[in-house]
Structure 1
Amino acid sequence: MEIKAFAPAKINLTLHVTDRRDDGYHLLDSLVVFADLGDRLTFTPGPELSMDVRGEFAGGVPTDSRNLVWRAAEAVGWTGHIQLTKSLPHGAGIGGGSSDAAATLGALADQGHDLPQGLPLSLGADVPVCLEGRAIRMQGIGDRLTAVNLPHLPALLVNPNVQVPTGAVFNALASKENPPMPESTPEFESADECAQWLRNQRNDLQVPAMNVAPEIDQVLDELQMTNRALVVRMSGSGSTCFALYPTMKDAHFAAYEIGAAHPDWWCRATQLN
């Protein structure tokens, strides 16, 4: 019997780098939400583990133990064929591989497979938050998660089709010790209220990412010029950037504008929550 799973894009509305441990892990304070678009997986039980990848961004995705999906399935002892349909760009700061792995763990757990303690975090810092799949404040190395209540946030995601290696961005970060977010996250009545608060927060990786991939600066400028954009920022370590809007109509109109001007960019209107 086939099992189906959805792996939504993860968006870091904020990303404060607060410290670096002796073992090299960075400590983060990040407000994370998820889009209503993402990758899809189908699991068909069988005697051996196998995998194929299709979709817009299938190129270059490994279909063996180098893939986090494979490693997640193997770790819980599941065997069979996995079909992964990649709709999210690679190296894009929106948790594609981590979300795929989290969707795998969630789907197989629903089928009765036990998740060994610490398994999600062992697959990657973003896997635990992606396993939650809802608005979360993520702290530490991705191991401290606190649910938050946010309104639905109409948004536009734009990626210039440039992959940004996370390691290079962290290496370019000038200061590893920066202030965290405020101790508590307010209750917001609207996307506008949320955006006003977000303007006083940061993504500490945005500037170093722009040094690695100057195209990010152009994307941010283009988003800033769209009508009724409330706040504009980069997600994760890049290169995907986002803008929030009062309504989905505004987000779709901005998608049309940027998509027409830059047909080679990945450009998607979505709702975040």
Structure 2
Amino acid sequence: MDDFATQAAPAKINLALHVTHRREDGYHDLESLVVFADISDELEARPAEADSLVIDGPFGGRLGTERNNLVLRAVAAFRARWPHLAPPGLAMRLTKNLPVAAGIGGGSADAAAALRIMAGLAPQKLLLGELADLAAGLGADVPACLLSRPLVARGVGEILSPLAEFPRLYVTLVNPGIAVATADVFRRLRAHDNYPLPALPDPLTRPAQLGLWLAETRNDLEPPAIKLVPEIGTLIGEMAASPGCMLARMSGSGATIFGLFGSEGQAHEAAREMRGLHPEYWVGSAPLLGV
């Protein structure tokens, strides 16, 4: 093994999220258009006698390094599934740049980054399907984060349809620093059997096509999340007023909201305006990762 291996853990954004069915086990079937932004946590691993994890970065203080940490759970799950392919130990450092419990898949992205590192160090190539099955056991968003590319997710998030094409777009993210528990949002969800996503344009190559499609969609978790955290609604309204904003919406179960832009300059200007309005909030701006 080289001296160290690194993987980015990009922010996940649900451009649209429809809750289509409440299952007998209490979980919900979803349909979501998922994309990833070029803004991320960073995971670094070095050879060691045993596994360890240090967390730093702007949001490092919000996480513990106990064994239930998703990064350590991902490494342990890989070792249990493929003990002959795993290195003896890894000394890992997670730089936590993304807010926690924010609806942008930070923990899931970190777990996926750990799986990619383990797979990259394995002496034989693993099938993506095998790795995705392992990822699904760690959390509903981990399989999508494993791919970190535009896709449609169905089921509880484990049925993935990667997109062959996607337009070049930019995003501005704002998080008010209020953690939102996904379970609390689902408990306040009024309708559990909503209609699915409309069919995507084919080919999907132009921002205008996506904008028209998104106008026919929604995030079903947004209304209950706004009741829990009214600041979400305020931020959506402010972002929507930004010049060039194609869509302002909440991602996942919140509390992060996003603005979608066709121009990098417009996205950066929106970020500057939001920082001016809310200097105490986390604000990020980046291009979306392509296919």
Specify the TM-score bucket, using the shorter chain as the normaliser: over 0.9
Are 1:212 and 2:214 counterparts? no
Are 1:65 and 2:81 counterparts? no
Q: Which of 37, 46, 49 pairs up with 2:48? A: 46
> Residues 18 and 32 of structure 2 are in contact (CA less than 8 Å); yes or no, is this contact kept in structure 1?
yes
* Aligned mates of 1:86, 1:248 — CA distance in 2: 24
> Residues 141 and 158 of structure 2 are in contact (CA less than 8 Å); yes or no, is this contact kept in structure 1?
no
Which letter maps to 1:245?
Answer: F
Q: Give 1:250 shift.
A: 0.5
Q: Which of 143, 147, 153 pairs up with 1:138? A: 153
Q: Give 1:117 shift.
A: 7.0
Are 1:90 and 2:100 counterparts? yes
> What is the aligned-residue RMSD (CA, Å)?
1.4
Secondary structure of the equivalent of 1:8?
Answer: strand
Rate the CA distance shift 1:111–1:231 in 2: closer, same or farther, 3 A: same
Which letter maps to 2:273?
Answer: E
Are 1:26 and 2:41 counterparts? no
Q: What is the aligned partner in structure 2 of residue 123 from structure 1? A: 138
* Aligned mates of 1:102, 1:243 — CA distance in 2: 25
> Residues 92 and 164 of structure 1 are in contact (CA less than 8 Å); yes or no, is this contact kept in structure 2?
yes
- Within-5 A mapping of 1:173-192: 173-192=189-208
Query: Which blocks of at least 5 consecutive residues in structure 1 are unaligned?
Result: none
After superposition, give the CA deviation of every residue in 1:101-154 in whole Å (9 maximum; x if it has no partner): 001101210111756673100100000011011001000111211011211211
Q: Which runs of structure 1 show a deviation greater than 3 angstroms over 4 or more consecutive aligned residues?
A: 113-117, 183-186
Are 1:103 and 2:105 counterparts? no
> Residues 15 and 28 of structure 1 are in contact (CA less than 8 Å); yes or no, is this contact kept in structure 2?
yes
* Aligned mates of 2:205, 2:133 — CA distance in 1: 36
> Residues 154 and 191 of structure 1 are in contact (CA less than 8 Å); yes or no, is this contact kept in structure 2?
no
Q: Give 1:53 shift.
A: 0.3
After superposition, give the CA deviation of every residue in 1:19-38 in whole Å (9 maximum; x if it has no partner): 01111111000000000011
Are 1:35 and 2:45 counterparts? no
* Aligned mates of 2:249, 2:8 — CA distance in 1: 25
Q: TM (normalized to structure 2)?
A: 0.90
Q: Provide the aligned length of Structure 1 versus Structure 2.
A: 273
Q: What is the aligned partner in structure 1 of residue 82 from structure 2? A: none
* Aligned mates of 1:169, 1:45 — CA distance in 2: 41
After superposition, give the CA deviation of every residue in 1:138-190 in whole Å (9 maximum; x if it has no partner): 00111211011211211111111111111000111001100001244433332
Q: Give 1:46 shift.
A: 1.1
Q: Which moved more, 1:187-196 or 1:104-113?
A: 187-196
Secondary structure of the equivalent of 1:39?
Answer: strand
> Residues 50 and 64 of structure 1 are in contact (CA less than 8 Å); yes or no, is this contact kept in structure 2?
no
* Aligned mates of 2:223, 2:62 — CA distance in 1: 28
